Structure 1
Amino acid sequence: MKTSIRIAKKEIKIALREKLVLALSCIILVLLGISLYTGAIAYQQQQEAITKAQKEKREEWLGQGDKHPHIAAHFGTFIFKPKTVLSLFDFGLDTYTGTSVYLEAHYQHQFMFRPAQDHSSMIRFGELSAALVLQILMPLLIIFLAYASFTREKERGTLRLLSSQGITLTSIAWGKIMAYFIILLVILVPFVLGILLLSYLLKTPDTITDLGIRIVLLGAAYMAYIFMFIVLSVLVSLKSSISRNALLTLLTCWILFTIIIPKTVANLGESLYPLPSMKIYKEAILKDKKDGLDGKTPRAVRMAQLEKELLTKYKVDSVQQLPFNFDGVKMQAGEEYGDKVYDVHWGRLLDLFNKQNKLGSYASLLNPYIALRNISMGFSATDLNTSVDFQKKVENYRRVFIKKMNDDMAQNSKYGEFYEYSVGLDMWKSVEDFEYNTPSIYATLKKYTLELTSLFCWTVVLILLLNYITRKTKPTNG
C-alpha cells in the first residue's frame, strides 16, 4: 500500500505538468459550472411559470360560476407537469415529454408544449447538461490522463527499473489508478456539493420525497462509472506497446460506447418495435369508442343494453321512473367505456415503449455508458418511467373528477333536465387540486436492475482482469 501511495503521488505530479490534461480539466470544470448554473436558472424559471399557470387555472376552475356539472366537465382544467429539482443536473426526457395536458370529459388529450419543438434538429445530439458532461466528456479526460500510464514507463525504461526494485505491476497499476481517481475527485466533489447546495437552496415546491438518497446514489453511480473508465484506460495502456496504440484503442472504445452503440440500439428498437403515428393512434381509439372494442357493439347498442339492465333491475317501465337521472348514468357509462378503450390502446403503446427500453437495458450489459445514462435519468426522475407514472396519475385524477360531475348529475337532477340544473362553488371546491410525487427510490431501483448489474459487473470484471494481467505480465518484457 505504501508503494502504491508513493506511485500515486508521482503520477499526480506528472499529471499536473501535462498541459493538455490541465486544459481538458479546466474545460470540463467550466462546462460543469455553466451547465449547473443554466440548469438551476432554467429549473427555477420553469417551476415558477408552472406554479403560476397552475394557480391561474385553479382560479379559473373555481371562478367558472354556476353551471351544469357536465358542462363543467367539458370546461375542464389544465394540469402542468412539475419540474424535479434534479432536472437541473440531468434534463433526461423532460424536453420531449411535454409540460401540460388539458383534462375534460370523453377525451384523453396528449401532453402539449414539448420544449424540443422549439429547438432545431441539433437537439438530437442532446442539450448541455451536467450529466452529459460527466457521461461523455469526463471519460475523454480520463483517456488523455491515463492512456500513457504504462506505455510511458515502457518507452522510458523505468518499468523494468521499478520491477528490479521488487515493486509488483499490481502495486504500480493501483498506484496509478489511485492517482487518477484522486485527481477526478478534486473536480467532482465541489460539483456534487454544489448540487446538494442548490437542491436545498431552491425554495420551490418539489415532487421528490427522497432527494438526499437519490443524490447519494447518483454520486455513487457516477463514481463507479469514472472508476471503471480509469481501470479500463490503465489496463489498455498496460497491454499496449506504445502510447499511440493505447490512445487509438481507448478513443475507439469511447466512440463505440458513447456514439455508435447507443445510436445503433435506438435505431434497432425503432425498427423492431415501431410506434404508430399520433394520427393512427387517435383514429383507432375513436373507432373503438364508436364501434366497440369487438367492432360489433356500437354506442347505441351499449346504451340500449344498459337501459334494459337498469329497467329490469329496478322493475320499472321507463327511464323516467328510475330513482336517478338516467342521462347522468349513461354519460358515466360512456365515459367508463371510453376509459376502457383508452387503456387498451395506451397499454399497447406502452408495451412498445417498454420493449424499446428493455432492448436498451439489455444493451447496457455491453455498454456502461447506456447503463449510467438510464440510471442517471431514473434517479433524477426525468426518465420515461417517471413520465408514464405522472400520466397515469393525471388520467386517474381526470376520471375521478369527471365521475364526480356525472354522479352529481345522476343523483341530483331529473331526467331530461339539463340547463335547468346547475351547481356552483361548493362543487368546484370538492374537486381537489392535483398534487404529484415521484415514485419512491425503491421502485426506481427495481426498474433499473439490469443497468445497476451492468455497472457492478463491468467494475468487478475490469478489476479482476487488471489483477490477473498484472500478475501474469513480466515487466522485463515491457
Structure 2
Amino acid sequence: MSAWRSVMRNELRGMLRDRTALSGIALLTLLALAATLVSWNHMQSAADYRARQQTAAQQAFDAQPDRHPHRVVHYGHFVYRLPSALAAFDPGVDPFTGSSMFLEGHRQNSANFGDVMQSSILTRFGQLTPAFVLQVLVPLVLIFLGHGVLAQERERGTLRQLMLQGAPARAIIIGKLAALWVMAAVFMLPACSGLLVLGVSAQGSLAVSLLLMAAYALYLGAWSMMIVAGSAVLARRRDALLALVAAWAVSTLLVPRLAPDLAHATYPLPDRLQTEVAIGRDARALGDSHDPQDPYFATFRQQVLDTYGVTRIEDLPVNYKGLLAVEGERMTSSLFNAYAARSAEAQQRQNRLVGRFALVSPSIVLSQLSMAAAQTDLAAHLHFVSQAEAYRYQMVQSLNQLQADAVSYADDTAKDAGADSRKRVDRSHWHDISRFTFRPQPVSAILTAMQSGLLTLLGWFSVGVLLLFVGARRMEAAR
C-alpha cells in the first residue's frame, strides 16, 4: 500500500474513533439530509400553491360578467412564476423578491409575496437549505476535523517519526488531504443525491446539476487544501484552529454581509416613494389626455381625424376614447420601462460589484453560481419581471383596442339611464386574451452564466494547491 493511502486510512480511523469528531460528522450528515428533504418538500408545496393560485386567478378573470373593457383594465390580473427544479437546492433571492405580480393598467407593479415578508422574523436570518449547509456549515466542520491533522502530529512528535521512516512530506499531506476530501464527500452526498433527482426531473437539467455538483466539489476541495496547508504551516494546533476559524468567519460571514452594503452605497437605488413621485412628474409632463387643450393630445386628435378623413370625433368609425387609452398606455408604459431599465441596471451593477469580492471570499462566487444554476438569482427575477410586463402591456392594449372597436363613442359618452348596459361587451372577450406562461431561461444561458464562477473556483482551487506546496516545503525544511 502506498504511503499516502496508509496515512489516509489512519487519519479516517482516528476521526471515527474520536467521539467528538464522530458526533460532528453524524450530526452534519443528518443536517444535510434534513435540509435536502425539508427544502425539497417546501419547494414542492410552493410550486403546488403557486399553480393553484394561478389557476384561481385565471378563473376569476375569465368569470367576470359583461363589462366595459376599461373596467377590466382596472380589475387587473395576477400572474405567478413557478419555481425551477433546482430552487429546492438554493432558493436564492426568491424569498425576498417574491414570485407573483399584479398586472393592471396605468401602473407597473413590482413582484409581491416573498416568503420573508410573509413569514416570521426568524426566516430573515436564512433558511436551512442544502446550499446554506454546504457553503457555510461544512467548511466550519471541516476546519474542526482537519485543523490538527499535521499540527497535532507535530506536537506529539509523530510527524518527525513518520518522515524519518521514509514517508515523504508530500505523501503525508496528500493522505491527510484525502481523508478530509472523503469527509467532504460524505457531507455532499445527501445534497448531490437530491441534485441528481432534480436534474433528471421533467423541469430539470442533468448538465446543470452535474456542473453545480462540480462547483461545490471545487469549493470544498479548496477549503480542505487550505485547512491542511494551515495545519502544516502553523506549529500549534490551537494557532491553526484560530487562524482557520478567522478565515472562515471573514470569507463566509463578514465579506458576504458587507459586500452588498458597499454595493448599495456605491450604486444607490431610489426607494418606491421617490420612484412614484418621479414617474408622476414625468407622466404629467408627457401630456393630459383628459385636457382637450393639451398640446400633445390635441395633435394626436388631429392626426386621428386626418387618418380617417373626418372632421369630428363623433364621425370616426372607431371609439376615440379607446384610441386615447391605447395611446396613453403606450406613453406611460414607455415611461415605466425606462425607470425599470434604470433600476435593473443599478441592481446589476450592485451584483457585479459584489461579485468582485470573490477574490477574497470563495463563498460569494459559489453563492452567485449556485443561484444562477437554480434560476433564483437577480437575472432570473428580472427575466420574470420582463415577461410579466410584456404580458401586462399586451393584455391592457388588447382591452383598450376592444373599447375602440366594440364600444361606440356615442354610448361611451352617453349619460342616460340605459347607457351603462350599452357600454358593456360580452364576457366571452375575456377568454380571448392569451394566458400568461412563464418561460424560464434556456439551459444554454444558464451554463454560460456559470462559466465565470467555475473559473474563479478553479482559481481558488489552484490557490489551495499552491498553499499545500508551501506547507510541504515547510515540513521538509523542519525535518
Q: What TM-score do the two structures reach when normalised by structure 1?
A: 0.91
Structure 2 CA distance for partners of 1:453 and 1:365, relative to 1, 3 Å: farther
Amino acid in structure 2 at the alignment position of 1:335: E
Give the aligned length: 468
Q: Does 1:357 align with 2:351?
A: yes
Q: Does 1:172 align with 2:172?
A: yes
8 A contact 2:104–2:396 mirrored in 1: yes
Following the alignment from structure 2 to structure 1, what is the Cα–Cα distance between the partners of residues 469 and 293?
70
8 A contact 2:36–2:190 mirrored in 1: no
- Which of the numbers 382, 393, 397 marks the counterpart of 2:376? 382
Q: Does 1:462 align with 2:464?
A: yes
8 A contact 1:77–1:102 mirrored in 2: yes
8 A contact 1:327–1:416 mirrored in 2: no
Q: Which runs of 5+ in 1 are unaligned?
A: none
- Per the TM alignment, residue 122 of structure 1 is displaced from its structure 2 partner at its CA by 4.1
Secondary structure of 1:161's match? helix
Matches within 5 A, 1:73-222: 73-197=73-197, 209-222=203-216
Following the alignment from structure 2 to structure 1, what is the Cα–Cα distance between the partners of residues 64 and 386?
27
String of CA shifts for 1:136-157, please: whole Å, max 9, x gaps.
1100111012111211222222
- Per the TM alignment, residue 131 of structure 1 is displaced from its structure 2 partner at its CA by 1.2
String of CA shifts for 1:30-50, please: whole Å, max 9, x gaps.
222222222223222222222
Structure 2 CA distance for partners of 1:333 and 1:136, relative to 1, 3 Å: same
Following the alignment from structure 1 to structure 2, what is the Cα–Cα distance between the partners of residues 64 and 121?
38
8 A contact 2:151–2:235 mirrored in 1: yes
Following the alignment from structure 1 to structure 2, what is the Cα–Cα distance between the partners of residues 111 and 82?
13
Q: Which runs of 5+ in 2 are unaligned?
A: 413-419
Following the alignment from structure 1 to structure 2, what is the Cα–Cα distance between the partners of residues 374 and 218?
11
Matches within 5 A, 1:271-290: 271-290=265-284
- Per the TM alignment, residue 188 of structure 1 is displaced from its structure 2 partner at its CA by 2.0
Partner of 1:45: 45
Following the alignment from structure 1 to structure 2, what is the Cα–Cα distance between the partners of residues 280 and 449?
37
- Which of the numbers 401, 414, 431 marks the counterpart of 1:429? 431
Following the alignment from structure 1 to structure 2, what is the Cα–Cα distance between the partners of residues 299 and 105?
24
8 A contact 1:366–1:454 mirrored in 2: no
Following the alignment from structure 1 to structure 2, what is the Cα–Cα distance between the partners of residues 363 and 190?
29
- Which of the numbers 264, 273, 286 marks the counterpart of 1:270? 264
String of CA shifts for 1:103-125, please: whole Å, max 9, x gaps.
11111122222221234544443
Q: Does 1:475 align with 2:469?
A: no
8 A contact 1:361–1:451 mirrored in 2: no
Aligned residues: CA RMSD: 2.4
- Per the TM alignment, residue 473 of structure 1 is displaced from its structure 2 partner at its CA by 3.1
Structure 2 CA distance for partners of 1:200 and 1:339, relative to 1, 3 Å: same
- Per the TM alignment, residue 445 of structure 1 is displaced from its structure 2 partner at its CA by 4.0
- Per the TM alignment, residue 469 of structure 1 is displaced from its structure 2 partner at its CA by 4.5
8 A contact 2:67–2:424 mirrored in 1: yes
- Per the TM alignment, residue 215 of structure 1 is displaced from its structure 2 partner at its CA by 1.8
Partner of 1:443: 445
Structure 2 CA distance for partners of 1:291 and 1:71, relative to 1, 3 Å: same
Following the alignment from structure 1 to structure 2, what is the Cα–Cα distance between the partners of residues 291 and 362?
40
Amino acid in structure 1 at the alignment position of 2:14: I
Following the alignment from structure 2 to structure 1, what is the Cα–Cα distance between the partners of residues 86 and 347?
24
Matches within 5 A, 1:246-395: 246-292=240-286, 300-395=294-389
Amino acid in structure 2 at the alignment position of 1:37: L
Following the alignment from structure 1 to structure 2, what is the Cα–Cα distance between the partners of residues 446 and 198?
20
Following the alignment from structure 2 to structure 1, what is the Cα–Cα distance between the partners of residues 281 and 184?
58
8 A contact 1:265–1:363 mirrored in 2: yes
Partner of 1:406: 400
